[in-house]
Amino acid sequence: MKNYKNVFIFDHPLIKHKIAILRDKKTGMKEFRELVEEITTVMTYESMRDVELVPVRVETPLETTTQYKVPEESVAIVPILRAGLGMVNGVHKVFPTARVGHIGMYRDEQTMLPQEYYCKLPDGIEKKTVFLVDPMLATGGSMCDALDALVKRGCKKIKIMSIIAAPEGIAKVAERYPDIPVYVSTLDRGLNENCYILPGLGDAGDRLFGTK
């Protein structure tokens, strides 16, 4: 895969460990959901290394000091339905007051092209740092369409987080939106004839919600 300046692939051994369990077809729904949440929390910390802090005065039991905090209300989370929902709590662990927007997409099973069926975003989202989350970045079609929707709404600071990505999906997003950072926990080999990621973990939505 080409080297893209804004694509960050985490290579942390503990994330690798968690993803090995996530991939295993014997891992049940509850553990799967918990792992997605946990990995997302770690990714959120890592992807916010560049966050701008504001000075605040804090009274410790001993004295008053200037400390630094993330401004309240500066973050929003937008999951791509359905599977992106599994990542929301993971970001909320770090930013409990983050507003949540929803973009509904499904891939047409014949054409593999994304179809948008829902979009509801919080007021003022264009001023926030938006975490656009979906555990699977396969062809990149759903992510690009979701990005189009956010950019059309005036969002300027977007961070993409996906747990597993295929090189095809990364290339599509990075070439269409070279300035938007893409954070990925692991890069897989490629796609099968049905555009599923290999080795992947199967259908993330079905595994999170027990629909199959």
Where on the chain is the footprint of ligand PRP (CB under 6 A)? 80-83, 105-107, 114, 134, 136-143, 169, 195, 203-205
Residues that bind ligand URA (CB under 6 A): 83, 136, 138, 196-197, 200, 203-205
Output 87 or 136, the one with its CB closest to ligand URA.
136
Residue 80 binds which entry of ligand PRP, ligand URA, none, CB below 5-8 Å type-dependent: ligand PRP
Of 166, 155, 142, residue with least CA distance to 80: 142
User: Can you tell me which residue has the tokens 């049905």?
Assistant: 194
Output 33 or 127, the one with its CB closest to ligand PRP.
33
Residue number of the CB atom closest to ligand PRP: 205
Residue 82 binds which entry of ligand URA, ligand PRP, none, CB below 5-8 Å type-dependent: ligand PRP
Q: Catalytic: 107?
A: yes
User: Can you tell me which residue has the tokens 């993971």?
Assistant: 90
Output 70 or 112, the one with its CB closest to ligand URA.
112
Contact 168, 139 (CB under 8 A): yes
Q: What is the DSSP string of 186-211?
A: EE-SEE-TTS-EESS-S-HHHHHHT-
Output 90 or 114, the one with its CB closest to ligand PRP.
114
Contact 21, 32 (CB under 8 A): no
For 188-200, give one letter per residue: b (16+ CB within 10 A) or e: beebeeebbbeeb
Q: Catalytic: 123?
A: no
Contact 75, 129 (CB under 8 A): yes
Answer whether the bond into residue 199 is a cis peptide, omega within 30°. Answer: yes
Q: Catalytic: 24?
A: no
* Identified catalytic residue from 11, 153, 206, 211: 206
Structure tokens at 5: 């300046």
**CB of 205 vs ligand PRP, minimal distance in Å:** 3
Of 204, 132, 131, residue with least CA distance to 164: 204
Residue 48 binds which entry of ligand PRP, ligand URA, none, CB below 5-8 Å type-dependent: none
* Identified catalytic residue from 57, 111, 123, 179: 111
Output 35 or 94, the one with its CB closest to ligand URA.
35
**CB of 32 vs ligand PRP, minimal distance in Å:** 13
Amino acid (1-letter code) at residue 73: E
